[in-house]
Amino acid sequence: MTKLPYLPETPSQTAGPYVHIGLTPNALGNAGIYPQDLGAAPIRDGAKGERITIRGTVTDGAGMILRDALIETWQADAQGIYPAPNDPRGRADPNVTGWARIIADFDSGVWTLETIKPGTVPHPSGDTMAPHLSAWVVARGINIGLQTRIYFEDEVAANEKCPILARIEHKDRVSTLLAKKTGKGEYWFEVKLQGEDETIFFDL
Amino acid sequence: MADAAAQAPTRGPLVARDRLWHPPAYAPGYKTSVTRAPSRALIAAPSTLSEETGPVFGRDMLGEMDNNLILNFTGQPAIGERIIMHGRVQDDQGRPVPGVLLEIWQANAGGRYRHKKDGYAAPLDPNFGGGGRTVTDDGGRYEFLTIRPGAYPWPNGPNDWRPMHIHVSVFGSGFGQRLITQMYFEGDPLIARCPIVNTIKDRSAIEQLVAPLDMAAAIPMDCLAYRFDITLRGRRQTFFENRPEGL
């Protein structure tokens, strides 16, 4: 059989419990290497759109809150444009960087993201995806980063039309992707790695 | 300067990951994975703009010592075996991936991490922080100067020791290419015994994480070198153009 010339992707390994040394050294208390941690905020002052705060936890299959989880999020601006040179639709809001790196609090395990609510983004089919943030979760015990999405429970009409949410066969699981509104501009999003109400993870 | 036309494309759909090549989520030999592995199947679909775009990091954000772990903590040299870790970031067709952020972290020469949760008996090195970063050049190349990390024990089995390793985090041009892995060192007898290494089922996939000694890149009377190339998830060629590029 002829071997195709494609190179296999470098295999993943767990980020381990000491991921903060490399990715958030200042938050860990290891000041002195970099002036500040990367991804501390996905927006700057003056970013257009609705300011929101998303908080949450990551829990394991035994119901224990992870204190060593790290989450990165990637999102569009309020118009639904990604702040990346490879978004073919033009320039995003210059005050939106779109990417954040957040860690669970070492004591409580709660993580907090302050950002703006993203706009809708077109799907390859021509349909429109509901407002969402892409989230990537790594930690000790996670062998390959888990991809999920944070949608918003108050975007009912957009969520109903989202082609990615429509792909989910078990409709009762869609709610695991919806950030719950807990106040004006405040949301709660729990990542449950395993078991009851397990969060939907994607292979996109 | 590499030929720009030969570089990895930054637009287009992502090639699906080979999940039999990567480690599975549930790998009971690595005990923590037992309660941290999803029990339901992943929801699969072709990539969208949300995975095909991603953040960009310029070389201008880097400090002069960011990729020099021997000196970047206090300015005084760390203790240990001085090594260059270098290589190339490439796509599935071997095309260089320029301008991507690489971050590494590791234990010191004695296997001790500068982290408040690490209580191993080996001492901290006052001049070693253990973190570094760089951005690949136009040819997709990168290099770090560091000390070779020590092996260390961990509470998994009753006598489990991690092989010498350096953690590596890499970005591509799309958030769906995001990857964290670990680099191991050629000839380390602990590699074959490690439950984390052995979460990977395919022996040739494990070999992809073992960096060979690279005497050609060593600096005589100064430091040894190890070579670690990284292959990112590729982008699919669009054979039938029935839609605008990237959408």
Mean pLDDT for A101-108 is 97
> Is pLDDT at B112 greater than 50 in this prediction?
yes
Residue contact B50–A132, C-beta within 8 A: yes
Residue in A82, A122, A147 closest to B53 by CB = A82
Burial (0-12, 13-18, 19+ Cβ within 10 Å), B6: exposed
Confidence band, pLDDT 50/70/90 cuts, at residue B241: very low
- A99 contacts on B by Cβ (under 8 Å): 54-55, 175
Q: Does residue B26 have an active-site annotation?
A: no
Is residue B167 flagged as an active site residue? Answer: yes
CA-to-CA distance for B115 and A155, rounded, in angstroms?
41
Per-chain mean pLDDT for chain B: 95
Kindly list the residues from chain B whose CB atom is less than 8 angstroms away from the CB atom of residue A6. 92-93, 234
**pLDDT > 70 in chain B, percent:** 94
- Residue from B95, B162, B233, B235 carrying the catalytic annotation: B162
Assess A65–B contact: CB distance below 8 Å, yes or no: no
If DSSP states are collapsed to H, E and C, what string results for chain B? CCCHHHCCCCCCCECCCCCCCCCCCCCCCCCCHHHHCCCCCCEECCCCHHHHCCCCCCHHHCCCCCCECCCCCCCCCCCCCEEEEEEEEECCCCCECCCCEEEEECCCCCCCCCCCCCCCCCCCCCCCCCEEEEECCCCCEEEEEEECCCCEEECCCCCEEECCEEEEEECCCCHHHCEEEEEEECCCCCHHHCCCHHHCCCHHHHHCCEECECHHHCECCCEEEEECCEECCCECCCCCCCCCCCC
- Burial class of residue A13 in the structure, from the number of CB atoms within 10 Å of its CB (0-12 exposed, 13-18 middle, 19+ buried): buried
Question: Residue A66: its chain B contacts at CB < 8 A?
Answer: 36
**Closest-approach residue (CA) in chain A for B11:** A86
Q: What pLDDT is stored for residue B2 in this prediction?
A: 47
Average pLDDT, integer, range A163-181: 97
Per-residue pLDDT for B240 more than 70? no
Q: Flag whether residue A188 sits within 8 Å of chain B, measured between CB atoms.
A: no
Q: What pLDDT, in 10s, does the model give residues B30-68? A: 999 999 999 999 999 999 999 999 999 999 999 999 999
CB contact under 8 A, A21 and B130: yes
The pLDDT, as a whole number, for residue B244 is: 52
Nearest chain B residue to A140 by CA distance is B32
Nearest to A22 among B38, B103, B117 (CB): B103
Average pLDDT over residues A18-40: 96
CB B178 within 8 A of CB B171: yes
pLDDT at B237: 74
The per-residue pLDDT for B135 is: 98
Q: What is the rounded average pLDDT of the residues A94-98?
A: 98
Average pLDDT over residues B226-243: 81
Q: Do B199 and A168 touch (CB under 8 A)?
A: no
* Residue of B30, B112, B133, B152 marked catalytic: B152
| pLDDT tens-digit series, residues B63-105 | 999 999 999 999 999 999 999 999 999 999 999 999 999 999 9
Q: What pLDDT was estimated at residue B162?
A: 98
Which residues does A122 contact at the CB level (< 8 Å), separation at least 6? A80, A128, A129, B49, B247
What is the pLDDT at residue B239?
Answer: 58
CB contacts of B10 in chain A (<8 Å) are 85-86
**Contact assignment for B23 to A5 by CB distance below 8 Å:** no
Per-residue confidence band for B243, with pLDDT thresholds at 50, 70 and 90: low
Q: Return mean pLDDT, chain A.
A: 97
Interface test with A, best of B115, B170, B200, B202 (most A CBs within 10 A): B115
Backbone angles phi, psi at B197, to 5 degrees: -55, -45
- The per-residue pLDDT for range B132-167, each reduced to its tens digit, is 999 999 999 999 999 999 999 999 999 999 999 999
- Entry pTM: 0.96
Annotated active-site residue in B17, B141, B167, B193:
B167
- CA–CA dist B173, A86 (Å, integer): 8
Contact B12, B177 (CB under 8 A): no
Cβ <8 Å between A74 and B200: no
Whether chain B has a CB inside 8 Å of the CB on A91: the answer is no
Residue A27 DSSP label: H
**Residues of chain B neighbouring A29 (CB-CB closer than 8 A):** 116
The answer to whether the CB of A18 falls within 8 A of the CB of B118 is yes
The verdict on a CB contact (< 8 Å) between A11 and B56 is no
Location of structure tokens 């395993």 = A194
Is residue B89 within 8 Å of residue A10, measured between CB atoms?
A: no
Q: Residue B247: pLDDT above 50?
A: no
Q: Report the chain A residue with the minimal C-alpha distance to residue B25.
A: A143
Structure tokens at A110: 């709660």
Contacts of B245 in chain A (CB under 8 A): 88
Residue B171 has pLDDT above 70, yes or no: yes
B184 part of the active site? no
Residue B73 has which token pair? 């903590």
Q: Among this protein's residues, is B165 annotated catalytic?
A: yes
B59 noted as active-site residue: no
Average pLDDT on B201-219 reads: 98
Beta bridge partners of A149: A134
